[in-house]
Structure 1
């Protein structure tokens, strides 16, 4: 029996302990927390706001985590809390850069440029399609499908009601389907 386990993130008790240590001024614990959350946050931010804004957003997120960590009352929710901070900063950057464009103005040939295998969209095509969804719906799609979070967890991260999460998810999926050509729609 193989007892080695490769975890993408520390277990909740370890993370909770790190948060408590960091709140007490332990610099090594803070660095470990930031290191552990860096990769999932970066992946989320890149998909939400794009590669060009990702480094700035991630840096601002790290600074906000550092500044606000002493005020986090429930250390066990550090990860969703950090995603909430990243989401708010990303939305702010997107609003400032006015990055999204109206969906109706984009020709379909710009959206699908690769030949996907049946029933599966390549990552590049999916990312290209995500750029055509509003940032609010994009955040829900990424948190729910890429990070495997429940709708309730998505609502907690984005600090909005579950009903709004469902609406944004429905709108995002409908927008993605609208831009798929008939031969690429799932059966």
Structure 2
């Protein structure tokens, strides 16, 4: 059992400091994932808080403390999906609006964070999610598969498709990928 697993067990035993430590370790990666999925930092704050409340409630029932990361991102994924279902009738329309965020003046051949975020926002949710989990959160392929609830081969094919789609989108905007 790794460090996360030990923190989870300590939380399950009622140590409040262990929960603070767990949040300290995972708040950043969780927030970046949620932010990447919803686009808004303020909304990411709210949804991240919802996730941590769900984690606090569900932590006593977590049977495999060493698998905290996939469990956490699965809760985050469901929270984001629930929010999107409540908020948007047509998610594709919001993706088109988000893709217009790219700034007009370019800084040479270097892509800015805003340009990458706009490129990600233009991708369909499944492809955007797999890129965020694998590349931005540095989760291993097997963990991505656990979070997404699909086989590792499906994660590989989604990654391939998502990279191609992002490259094509950035090329359409005039950025050489």
**TM bracket, shorter-chain basis:** 0.7 to 0.9
TM-score norm. by structure 1 comes to: 0.80
Q: How far off is 1:143 after superposition? A: 0.9
Q: Do structure 1's residue 184 and structure 2's residue 160 form an aligned pair?
A: no
Give RMSD over aligned pairs: 2.6
Q: Which has the higher helix share?
A: 2
Separation in structure 1 between the aligned mates of residue 20 and residue 28 of structure 2, nearest angstrom: 14
Query: Alpha carbons of 1:175 and 1:20: their partners in 2 closer, same or farther (altered >3 Å)?
Result: same
Q: 1:39 aligns with which of 9, 15, 28?
A: 28
Runs of 4+ in 1 over 4 A off after TM superposition: 102-106
Contact 1:100–1:132 (8 Å) recurs in 2: no
Per-residue deviation, residues 39-88 of structure 1 (Å, max 9, x unmatched): 11111111111224212211110111111111211111212221121111
Give runs of aligned pairs for residues 77-92 of structure 1, distance below 5 A: 77-92=67-82
| Aligned residue in 2 for 1:130 | 120
Q: How far off is 1:176 after superposition? A: 1.6
Per-residue deviation, residues 72-115 of structure 1 (Å, max 9, x unmatched): 11111212221121111112212222273259966x8x364241
How many matched pairs?
A: 173
Give runs of aligned pairs for residues 54-133 of structure 1, distance below 5 A: 54-98=44-88, 100-101=91-92, 110=100, 112-113=102-103, 114-118=105-109, 120-133=110-123
| Aligned residue in 2 for 1:161 | 151
Bigger shift: 59-68 or 176-185?
176-185
Bigger shift: 149-158 or 12-21?
12-21
Separation in structure 1 between the aligned mates of residue 121 and residue 169 of structure 2, nearest angstrom: 11
Q: Which ranges in structure 1 are unaligned for 5 or more consecutive residues?
A: 1-11
Q: 2:138 aligns with which of 135, 148, 152?
A: 148
Q: Which ranges in structure 2 are unaligned for 5 or more consecutive residues?
A: none
| Aligned residue in 1 for 2:5 | 16
Separation in structure 2 between the aligned mates of residue 115 and residue 148 of structure 1, nearest angstrom: 28
Bigger shift: 161-170 or 70-79?
161-170
Query: Alpha carbons of 1:174 and 1:104: their partners in 2 closer, same or farther (altered >3 Å)?
Result: farther
TM-score norm. by structure 2 comes to: 0.84
